[in-house]
Amino acid sequence: MSAASWLDALPTDFYDQLAHCLSLHGMAAAELLSQPESYQLAALTALDGYKVQELNGIHTHEQLLSSLRAKPLELYHLLLLGRLTLETSLAIPVLAYVQEQMQIDQQQLDYLKTYCLELSGAFLNTLEEHLPAPQGVASLGLHRLHIEEAFTKLLALHPASVPPAANLRLAEPQLQMLRLALLLVHSLPATADHPFLLAVSKLSNLQPAALEPLIEHLGRVRAQEQLTLTMPELVQLYQGMQVCGMIFVSDVMNRLGLEEAFPTLSEAEASATEAAPVSNRQAVGEMVSGFTRWVQQTFPEAEEIQKARQEILALADTL
């Protein structure tokens, strides 16, 4: 079958079927090519961020046919790289973004991903039947193996991402409290003579270097935006908030001179609470206990949370 005839045989609504698939694979390919280790894949596919953006500009069946006639390998490479990426942890930020934009739940996201992968798999097989191999390569199948081999090498260099455990949308005071709790724990003196501070300095989850990525993560999120947290991040926030609460209700607060560091409620926030006026300590205590309860109720059987809770109970004994 000639190139013209197999393209003409595509159903006229083929772009409509492929639209979500192209978009998702394009975002995944862009994420992959943004990795610093992707140079070998970029060389094998001749794709870069600009070309991916160009291919993501296909919005009609006619544009799809035009692209397949003019530069069919570009579309082949886009689908192949996107497909490889979507089946790994590299796709986590892409899928989180898609879920946020489409306002869909996890089950709907899983269905969309499965549908797109099935469609791209079938279309890649069709392309391999009809497209010539790149110059200097014996077959398109062999070319695909070279790409998959380079991808496997990249994946080995890339630290495995941890799947998300929770998606939250926080009001400004809650977000500010989480940030403040982590910054407070991060800045605690490791050499203090107080037994509580010495015990905190021994918690692996709350080491300054361990907290810095999460502090940066929270710094990029705005109020009411989706905040995606992994279980290790959730454990850090769970422990960090409780350490912050303990400092706030103990003599450690005064000893470190931190009375002025905590936020006060605005007049509107204070008047919206049942017990007015609400003190600083009450407001912070309620946020800490509210977050702690939510974590324990949402993840009642998570071993990581149970272990973190035991560490916090031991910590409380030093006060």
Condensed to tens digits (0 to 9), the pLDDT of residues 78-130 reads 999 999 999 888 888 888 888 888 988 888 988 999 999 999 999 999 899 88
241 pLDDT higher than 90: yes
The stretch 170-179 carries a mean pLDDT of: 89
User: What is the C-alpha separation between 299 and 231, in angstroms, rounded?
Assistant: 10
Q: Kindly indicate the confidence band of residue 277, based on its pLDDT and cuts at 50, 70 and 90.
A: very low
The stretch 61-75 carries a mean pLDDT of: 92
User: What is the C-alpha separation between 253 and 232, in angstroms, rounded?
Assistant: 27
Amino acid 4: pLDDT? 60
Condensed to tens digits (0 to 9), the pLDDT of residues 259-268 reads 554 544 455 5
Which residue type is seen at 292? T
Q: Kindly indicate the confidence band of residue 280, based on its pLDDT and cuts at 50, 70 and 90.
A: low
Q: Within 10 A of 125 (CB to CB), how many other CB atoms are there?
A: 9
Supply angle C-alpha 110, 296, 227, rounded to 5.
45
Where in the chain are the domains? 3-157, 164-316
272 pLDDT higher than 70: no
Condensed to tens digits (0 to 9), the pLDDT of residues 292-301 reads 999 999 888 8
Condensed to tens digits (0 to 9), the pLDDT of residues 187-229 reads 887 666 778 888 898 888 998 888 888 888 888 888 887 788 8
